[in-house]
Amino acid sequence: MATTTTSVPRRRRPARPDAQRSALGPGHRTLPRALGFAALLALAALWLLPLLWGLVTALKSEAQAASLPVRWFPQAGGFTLDSFRTVLTSSNLPLWLLNSVLVAVVVTAVTVLISAMAAYGFSRTVFRGREWLYALTIAAIMVPPQILIVPLFRQMLSLGLVDTYWGIILPQLVAPAMVFVLKGFFDGIPVELEEAARMDGAGAFRVFWQIVMPLSRSVLAAVSIFVFISAWNNFLWPFIVVNDPDLMTMPVGLATVKNAFGVTFAADMAGATIAALPLLVIFMLFQRQIIRGVATTGLGGQ
Amino acid sequence: MTGKWSGRRGAGGAQRTPLPAGAPGASRRGVLRGGLAAGLLAPLAGCGSVADLGGGGPDGTTVRFWNLFSGADGAKLSTMIDAVQQEVPGLGIDATVLAWGSPYYTKLAMSSAGGRAPEMAVLHLSRLAGYAPGGLLDPWDLDLLAEFGVTEQDFPAAAWQRAQHDGQLYAVPMDTHPFILFYNRDVAGRAGLLGPDGELLPLTSPEAFLDAGRAMAAATGATGVAYGYQVDTGQALRLFLSFYGQLAGELDLSGDTVGIDRAAAEEVVDFAHRMLDGEIADPTASYPAALSTFNAGRAGMILSGEWELPGFQEAGFPLGATPFPALFGRPRGYADSHSFVLPHQDVVDEDRRRATHRAAAGLLKQTLTWARAGHIPAYKPVLQEPGYAELEPQTSYASAAETAVYDPAAWFTGAGSTFQDQVSQALIRGFSGAASPRAAVDDVVERIDAMLRIPDPEA
Amino acid sequence: MSTAELSRPGTAPTGARGRPSRRAGLGSGFWFTAPFLVVFAGFLLWPVVYGVYLAFTGASLSGGGEGLIGFGNFGEALSDPLVWRTLLNTAVFTVASTVPLVVLPLVMALLVHLSLPGQWLWRLAFFAPYLLPVTVVSLLWVWILQPELGLLNDWLGAVGIGPVAWVQGEGSAMWSVVIATVWWTSGFNFLLYLAGLQNIPGYLYEAAALDGSGGWRTLRSITLPMLGRTTGIIVVLQVLASLKVFDQIYQMTSGGPDNATRSILLYVYDQGFSNYRLGYASAIANIFFLLVIVLSVAQLRLFNRREA
């Protein structure tokens, strides 16, 4: 795994010599570019169509959604927000979103903090068993958490944590891959800065908190983004440990709880749209940061 | 990774970062922010949900109620809940609908094992043996039920019997929903099968039934009997248990191997195969295909659960119904019952449990509404209400509740179980003729014995 | 956690020039790692050990069955046809999803890297699905693949194909899951490829241009070989991710029809929670775990050898 890290771009590339850097090489600017553009357009359309179809369905009435022939634009009555109204008033979706926010925020904050501390400990200090513990951490990256659902559930039963927020949160705090990514970063920070601070009389934790953490803002942001997306979209574990509909996170509630009135395509799509929106909006606002965060963290760990 | 980050940051940040002196004073904004965070994090301290923050959380008289009803059933249940809440001021019933079948039952068991289960849930009686012995359910308090006007005399014996475990009542039956025979009066009339009272003439032998099927096939120009069973996970078993019950009684799953009357079982499979000859009934029909065949008048009868009644009524032809035909002697027909159960809770709130008994009793008394969806109310006083006598064709099969055959009792059987699926798959091959009756029954026995070999996780 | 101890000067065992002093015992370094090690031990290491223990018991969801029963669960698992069936399904899904999840993202990244106008839009189009919760993906695709009202059958019908039963069909259900998965997660691999492309030094292209090398030749002789490492990483990550498939299968098909899409993790869930057999489910999970480890190590070896 360690070998994977170097493939991340070292520096932001100079902005301009775009055509030069094209994968097809220089010199082929007209015909291949036109063909490339067409292919890109087709592929992007293919990828966007499902999203649009979901949105269009959400904006129809149930009758329009279930009418044949299949139409993009409803014939009678036009688009309506009824399905959104139904979902927001008669389902628990707002509550599930709130639960998701709570869980994802706590998981992200705590995971990033303890992973950064651990990475710093592994990177900068020596204590008995350090290398051994770090090796164990790295080895644990190979353990797929999904295989632990049975023992973890049993464990949560004995801890009395089934159907609690802590039951959802605690197992998600373990992120050995993030420790690996952060340690790699800390290893590269020149140690002189810390020494200077220490000469000013700062203790180890203060050095970590006031020197190292601010210097690491970019990697911390990358790791936070990665952890947040995983926690926000996590399904399996919250699905296992929570049965109480009031405690469900959004992906679990949406998949588990049905409405009393049978199949409702438009309402399903309205719910899906609302559930998808928060992260999509954040993505549109912070595309550059999120893409960099996911790419670097994804390549460094997992 | 290291190169990238340190390369960029290291150069810019080489100067010493001065250490701020002292902790920042508690600003007003800080306090505010802290308060907000504390509010959001408060649920983390206890076992509640953020839903409880607004003060609208469950109090002593709110009964959280899980069920698996959607469609017509779901709408009826909502009406019943509204009625009970109006009738009993202060009683709240907070209903949650989960996906039917295995997902529902898995969640119910996990919730009970977790100890923070909802106050009340719906359970198929056929599933009771998978829940009560494992301690996943709490027993009902008969005195409390009696206080709210619900006693043993109010229920059919078959359902009440099935609701017991270890001498205690673990389920309050809500309905019986049998597998029955619906018929199209127009087709039956054209086939000459209606009596002077306008009802279907009694069919009392296999040959009589097959003849009636042929006559109806002639009348429709298509098939006589609609019966959907291909790729279905329960239909074949329902038919089998009905006729097997008439011939030989119940399968015995109490031993190491299944107790089965092979001759009777083979007779049932053979009969089903003779019925599915392409003339009387279509051997390729799936469940939805059979429904649409019957709705379109391309079959005169359908062997089906009564839960399909609302759909048939919508189709708009004159509809009749009888209990499952007793072709092999005594009247018997497959059935199941929805019931109310108390999922196990580690900490029981007495007020809330009392409210739960009251809610169950209240819902039972509203089951006339439930009957409109086709089900036979288990609470017999409802059957005496004038409103029930007007329900047609419900009244004509109400007696099926007394001759119900349930899934044989074992931890692995019941509605939506792998038992129903596995046995149905073996029977389908026999019914369609892909396997001989003997081979199909061998397969059934083999599959059940394999399930019996699995150690009972509740023992 | 005591910050007082952490900030006491002198406890940090780092000597001159940042070289850690060899004499250090459990210094502050340990306390830095302690919070992580607590959750690591409690919610990863212990469950792994406990899961192995459970596999040797008849443990049940409703309590009981604690006693050790030897290798019974493993014996049963190896002779359980559904274990083999679900392993096979998992393998089929892994192959069927990994191939398009490597090829399509590569194509996407190459095209986006042409630096055509609209970069923001292209990235949005390909990466946005990855940000959707899996439940949304499942709902969306079950709707698109709906046999009568679905968009896809409508289109196929227009060119004279179908109607296909998709999610309900024994032959098509797995493909439905694969299609949804490819659409959902291509964006992630696309980003990794994009990062890989940006990492190729510009001078290589300049040299190729001086040699008069054409576009396709440059692609074949420079771009693709330089992406070898990235492809290796993506294949390794993707195979591991696909093996662990559960969510979208549970939501779209529940493993049906007739087990056609039941993955091994779904079977673990069924046995453990639907059939209450926590012990047996643990045995199956451990067998699967072993396979994952063997496969991971094999893949890493292969990968490293190619690297060398």
CATH classification of the domain holding B164: 3.40.190.10
pLDDT tens, residue by residue, A56-109: 999 988 777 877 787 888 777 778 888 898 888 888 899 999 999 999 999 999
- Residue at B331 is within a domain: yes
For residue B446, what pLDDT is reported?
Answer: 94
CA distance B22 to chain C (A): 14
Do the chains contact at B17 and A216, CB–CB below 8 Å? Answer: no
Residue B21 lies in a domain: no
Chain A residues lying within 8 Å of B53, measured CB to CB: none
| For testing contact with chain C, the best of A11, A12, A101, A125 (most C CBs within 10 A) | A125
Closest Cα in chain C to B344: C62
Name the packing angle between helices A287-300 and C173-198 (round to 10°): 100
How confident is the model over B40-60, as a mean pLDDT?
A: 59
Q: What is the pLDDT of residues C256-308, one digit of tens each?
A: 787 899 999 999 999 999 999 999 999 999 999 999 999 988 988 887 776 65
DSSP A81: S
Does A188 contact B114 at a Cβ distance shorter than 8 Å?
no
Least CB–CB distance from A121: residue in C29, C43, C191: C29
pLDDT at B11: 32
Please report the residues numbered 39 through 58 in chain A whose beta carbons come closer than 8 angstroms to any beta carbon of chain B: none
Residue C63 and residue B109: Cβ atoms within 8 Å?
no
Closest CA to B22 of A133, A206, C139, C54: A206
> How high does pLDDT run on average in chain B?
87
How much is the ipTM here? 0.87
Residues B346 and B379 grouped into a single domain: yes
Which one of A258, A265, A294, A296 makes the best mutation probe of the B interface by having the most chain B beta carbons within 10 Å? A258
Give the span between the Cα atoms of B193 and B212, in whole angstroms.
7
| Average pLDDT of the segment spanning A24-34 | 61
**C140 in contact with A at a CB cutoff of 8 Å?**
yes
Instruction: Point out the residue among A66, A191, A235 whose CB comes nearest to the CB of C18.
Output: A191
Residues B376 and B422 in one domain: no
- Taking CB atoms and an 8 Å limit, are B134 and C254 in contact across chains? no
Band (pLDDT 50/70/90 cuts) for residue B42 is: low
Residues forming beta bridges with residue C68, ordered by sequence position? C57
Neighbors of chain B with 3 or more C-beta pairs under 8 Å? A, C
Residue among C61, C258, C270 whose CB faces B109 most closely: C61
| Cβ contacts of C115 on chain A, cutoff 8 Å | 18-19, 21-22
Contact A106 B8 (CB under 8 A): no
**CB of A159 within 8 Å of any CB in chain C?**
no
Q: B96 - beta bridge partners?
A: B66
Average pLDDT over residues B125-134: 92
Does the pLDDT of residue A296 top 90, yes or no?
no
Residues 6+ apart with CB under 8 A from C117: none
The CATH code that applies to domain C87-273 is 1.10.3720.10
Residue A62's pLDDT is: 79
- Predicted confidence at residue C71, as pLDDT, reads 92
Report pLDDT for A107.
Answer: 97
B17–chain A Cβ distance below 8 A for any pair = yes
Alpha-helix residue ranges (DSSP H) falling in chain A = 31-58, 62-65, 82-90, 93-124, 130-140, 149-159, 165-169, 176-187, 192-199, 204-207, 213-215, 217-233, 236-241, 250-256, 265-285, 287-300
Strands B92-98 and A257-258: antiparallel
Interface touch A203/C202, C-beta < 8 Å: no
* Residue B18 domain-assigned (yes or no): no
Q: Which residue of A has its CA nearest to C8?
A: A203
Does residue A145 have a cis peptide bond before it, meaning omega lies within 30 degrees of 0? no
Residues of B with CB under 8 A from a CB of C: 102-103, 105-106, 109-110, 113, 134-136, 231, 411-412, 418, 425, 454-455, 457-459
Same domain, B117 and B132: yes
Alpha helices in A142-241 (DSSP H): 149-159, 165-169, 176-187, 192-199, 204-207, 213-215, 217-233, 236-241
List chain C residues with CB under 8 Å of B135: 62-63
CB atoms B110 and C254 under 8 Å: no
In terms of CA atoms, which chain B residue is nearest residue C58?
A: B457
Identify whether B394 is part of a domain: yes
Residue range A156-183: mean pLDDT, rounded: 94
- Closest Cα of chain A to C293: distance in Å? 7
pLDDT, residue A72, reads 84
pLDDT below 50 — which residues of chain C?
Answer: 1-26
> Does the pLDDT at position A22 exceed 80?
no
How high is the pLDDT of residue B37?
Answer: 56
Q: What pLDDT is recorded for position C258?
A: 78
- Predicted local distance difference test score (pLDDT) of residue B167: 93
Closest CA to B332 of B250, B404, B396: B404
Where exactly does CATH 1.10.3720.10 map onto chain C? 87-273
For B403-449, the pLDDT digits (tens) are 999 999 999 999 988 899 889 999 999 999 999 999 999 999 999 99
Residues B186, B120: one domain?
no
Instruction: Provide the pLDDT confidence category of residue A17 given band limits of 50, 70 and 90.
Output: very low
Quick check: B232 pLDDT over 70?
A: yes
Say yes or no for a CB contact (<8 Å) between A142 and C233: no
How many angstroms separate the CA atoms of B124 and B341, rounded?
10
Do residue B312 and residue B428 come from a single domain?
Answer: yes
**Which residues contact residue C260 at a Cβ distance below 8 angstroms, ignoring those fewer than 6 apart?**
C89, C170, C171, C173, C174, C253
Contact A181 B1 (CB under 8 A): yes
Chain C, 61-100: which have a CB under 8 Å from a chain A CB?
A: none
Determine what percent of chain B is predicted with pLDDT higher than 90. 73
Closest-CA residue in chain B for C76? B454
Provide, as residue numbers in chain B, all residues whose Cβ is less than 8 Å from the Cβ of A254: none
Residue A125 has its nearest CB partner, among C12, C116, C216, at: C12
Amino acid at C56: F
* pLDDT recorded at residue B33: 53
Residues of chain A contacting residue B373, judged by C-beta atoms under 8 Å apart: none
What is the domain extent for residue B445? 179-335+417-453
- Asked if residue B341 is part of any domain, the answer here is yes
With respect to residue B308, please indicate whether it lies within any of the assigned structural domains. yes
What pLDDT sits at residue C96? 97
Q: Do A162 and B116 touch (CB under 8 A)?
A: yes
Which residue, among B422, B425, B404, has the nearest Cα to B413 in the 3D structure? B422
* Residues B305 and B224 reside in one and the same domain: yes
Same domain for B253 and B209? yes
Rg (CA), chain B: 28
Query: H-type helices in B366-417, by residue range?
Result: 367-371, 380-384, 386-389
Q: Which of B335, B336, B328, B158 is nearest to B243 (CA)?
A: B328
Residue B56 has pLDDT above 50, yes or no: no
**Selected residue with higher pLDDT from C260 and B45:** C260
Tell me the mean pLDDT in the region A248-256: 92
End-to-end, the C-alpha distance of chain A in Å comes to 9
Would you call A210 and B20 a contact, using CB atoms and an 8 Å cutoff? yes
Give pLDDT, residue B57: 44
Chain C residues whose C-beta sits inside 8 Å of any chain B C-beta: 58, 60-65, 254, 257-258, 270, 273-277
Task: Tell if the CB–CB gap between B457 and C61 is shorter than 8 Å.
Answer: yes
Same domain for B280 and B269: yes
Query: CB–CB of B106 and C274 under 8 A?
Result: yes
Cβ separation of B103 and C254 shorter than 8 Å? Answer: yes
- Is C107 in the A-facing interface, judged by CB distances under 8 Å? yes
- Residue C33: its H or E element: helix C28-40
Residue B26 lies in a domain: no
Chain C residues in contact with A97 by the CB 8 A cut-off are none
For chain A, give the number of residues.
302
Please report the pLDDT score of residue C83 as a whole number. Answer: 96
The minimal CB distance from A210 to the residues B19, B52, B114 is found for B19
The tally of domains found in chain B comes to 2
B261 inside domain: yes
Q: Are residues B288 and B191 in the same domain?
A: yes
Asked if the C-beta of C205 comes within 8 angstroms of chain A's C-beta atoms, the answer is: yes
Say which range, A131-135, A170-174, A191-195, has the weakest mean pLDDT.
A191-195
Q: Which of residues 280-299 of C touch A (CB under 8 A)?
A: 281-282, 285-286, 288-289, 292-293, 296
Residue C27 has a pLDDT of 61
| Shared domain check, B254 and B106 | no
Handedness of CA A268, A270, A276, A278 (dihedral sign): negative
Nearest by CB: A188 against B5, B44, B97: B5
Q: What CA–CA distance (Å, rounded) separates B138 from B130?
A: 13
Q: Is A90 touching B (CB cutoff 8 A)?
A: no
Taking CA–CA distances from C272, the nearest residue in chain B reads: B106
List of domains in chain A: 24-88 (no CATH), 91-257 (1.10.3720.10)
Chains with ≥3 Cβ pairs under 8 A against A?
Answer: B, C
Q: Is C48 on the interface with A (CB under 8 A)?
A: yes
- What digits encode the pLDDT tens for the residues B158-200? 889 899 999 999 999 999 999 999 999 999 999 999 999 999 9
Q: Report chain A residues whose CB lies below 8 A from the CB of C222.
A: 25
Q: Are residues B256 and B198 in the same domain?
A: yes
* pLDDT score of A196 more than 90: no
Same-domain status, B284 and B433: yes
Tokens encoding B272: 């089903």
Q: What is the dihedral of CA A252, A253, A258, A259, to 10 degrees?
A: -160
Amino acid at site B41? L
Nearest to B458 among C270, C274, C276 (CB): C276
